[in-house]
Amino acid sequence: MGTAALFHTYMTKSRLEAFSDGVLAIIITIMVLELRPPEDGYTLHSLLELLPTFLSYVLSFIYVGIYWNNHHHMFHMVDKINGAVLWKNLNLLFWLSLFPFTTAWMDKNYTQPLPVAVYGVVLAMAAVAYLILQKELIKAGGPDCKLAQAVGADSKGKLSGILYIAGISASFISTWIGIVLYSIVAIIWFIPDKRIEKFYSDDREI
């Protein structure tokens, strides 16, 4: 590609990424607004009462971080974007934008099945939206594109799906099992993806 063509491709990808980054940045920072200073106190006790809110913030922060990282890696391997990609990206952002709501509801009711299950349902919907976006990008890039090769069998994605369903179901027995299962999915994705990493090792830069 000549410099002008590079600029054009760059601008579309860049704007899609910039908009996504903006939404993700605000989601993260809006979640922290739930962490209100205790109205009535300045004691260690009043600080410790915020612990469930703090821990759900940490979990949701890690999830948004994982999505940002994976979103970045995925688009880094992509050269062709079409109109459908823009909408499927917005679909992903829609589900991620519900994180502050489900996080706030869960941290206020972490012993109640429904808020914990709904938290998991939105996590799962975001994961589905991510897969739909990935499929569209592979469709646009063709079966031989870098992304198609990198994704491969996607055992991580399948495992996540099972864990989400297990977590949502388990919330109705014990909310702690649900929360632990959601956290395991986060840990799985936190560990760098060897499939994609190997594509970068040749470039020596992400």
Burial 110-136 (b: 16+ CB within 10 A, else e): beebebbbbbbbbbbbbbbbbbebbeb
Residue with tokens 């014990």: 174
Shortest Cβ distance from residue 105 to a second copy (Å)? 4
Residue 194 as a binder of a second copy (CB under 8 A): the answer is no
The CA-based diameter of the chain, rounded to the nearest angstrom, is 63
- Under the binding rule (CB under 8 A), the answer on residue 198 touching a second copy is no
CB of 63 to a second copy, least distance (A): 11
Q: Does 18 bind a second copy (CB under 8 A)?
A: yes
Check residue 91 and report its DSSP letter. Answer: H
* Closer to a second copy by Cβ: residue 161 or 199: 199
Minimum separation from the CB atom of position 149 to a second copy (A): 18
C-beta of 97 vs 161, nearer to a second copy: 97
User: Is 115 a binder of a second copy (CB under 8 A)?
Assistant: yes
Q: Which of 52, 65, 157, 161 binds a second copy (CB under 8 A)?
A: 65
Rule CB under 8 A: say whether 86 interacts with a second copy.
Answer: yes
Instruction: From 190, 4, 178, 21, select the one nearest 96 (Cα to Cα).
Output: 21
CB-CB neighbours of 98 under 10 Å: 17
Among residues 60, 61, 126, 129, the one that binds a second copy under rule CB under 8 A:
61
Q: How far is CA 192 from CA 11, 50, 58, in A?
A: 28, 31, 19
